């Protein structure tokens, strides 16, 4: 049977046990938009400071420095903006589902499954008592970072229930 994003209701009916689907929160999307804006604003400030210095001290801050910095900042901000748009496009229909024995990731109608037997450790990273992100370390020494999800604490709890307790650690940032 080919599993599509829209067959999960059928799987729940079969008793596979999808408790909850976790999506990226609106707060995280706003935070990333704000960070993109601040990056562009600071780039404009830096370019403006160099332009003023170029005007006041042309022998020390020459045109080559000005245009190389402006070019670098334009390219860096375009790359950042492209990555932000790609992120927004990918999370539009991204979800994580926790099943018995598996964690299922949906992105753009495509599914990836992680067998919980491959998890070597789960690390909760907290700052001032609030969960910032969850790092899942696999036995293949790869890692999966979960951050920005709605109800991140519950997502971590559902995954951690399926691994031995000694593989779960709570860390402070």
How far is it, in rounded angstroms, from Cα 170 to Cα 173?
10
pTM as predicted? 0.75
Residue 51 pLDDT: 94
| Per-residue pLDDT at 14 | 41
Domain final residue, candidates 42, 62, 91: 91
Residues 118 and 135 in one domain: yes
Q: Are residues 133 and 168 in the same domain?
A: yes
Domain boundary among the residues 91, 113, 145 is at 91
Specify the pairing of strand 119-127 against strand 95-99.
Answer: unpaired
How much is the pLDDT for 117? 95
Residue 132, pLDDT score: 94
d(CA 135, CA 18): 22
Whether residue 149 sits in one domain with residue 109:
yes
Q: Does one domain contain both 107 and 152?
A: yes
125 in the same domain as 159: yes
Q: Are residues 121 and 162 in the same domain?
A: yes
Residues 17 and 30 in one domain: no
Spatial separation of the C-alpha atoms in residues 49 and 44, rounded to whole Å = 9
- Dist. CA 65–CA 51, nearest whole Å: 10
Note every long-range contact of 108-115, with CB atoms under 8 Å and residues 24 or more positions apart, other chains counting: 109/4, 109/5, 111/3, 111/4, 111/5, 114/138, 114/144
Q: What is the pLDDT of residue 109?
A: 84
10-residue block means of pLDDT along the chain (173 residues)? Answer: 44 50 94 96 96 91 92 97 94 92 92 95 94 96 95 94 93 81
Q: Give the per-residue pLDDT at 171.
A: 87
- Domain harbouring 152, CATH code: 2.30.29.30
Q: Domain range for residue 61? A: 26-91
- Structural domain tally of the chain? 2
Query: Which residue reads 């753009």 in tokens?
Result: 108
């Amino acid at each position: 049977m080919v599993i599509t994003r829209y067959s999960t209701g059928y799987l729940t009916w079969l008793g596979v046990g999808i408790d909850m689907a976790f999506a990226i929160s609106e707060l995280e999307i706003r935070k990333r938009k704000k960070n993109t804006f601040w990056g562009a604003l600071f780039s404009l400030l830096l370019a403006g400071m160099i332009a003023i210095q170029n005007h006041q001290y042309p022998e020390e801050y020459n045109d080559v420095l000005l245009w190389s910095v402006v070019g670098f900042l334009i390219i860096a901000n375009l790359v950042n903006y492209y990555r932000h748009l790609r992120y927004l496009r990918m999370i539009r229909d991204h979800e994580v589902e926790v099943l018995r024995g598996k964690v299922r990731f949906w992105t753009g109608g495509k599914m990836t499954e992680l067998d919980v037997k491959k998890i070597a450790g789960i690390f909760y990273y907290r700052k001032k008592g609030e969960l910032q992100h969850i790092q899942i370390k696999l036995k293949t020494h790869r890692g999966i970072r979960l951050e920005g999800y709605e109800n991140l604490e519950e997502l971590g709890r559902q995954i951690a229930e399926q691994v031995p307790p000694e593989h779960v650690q709570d860390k402070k940032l």
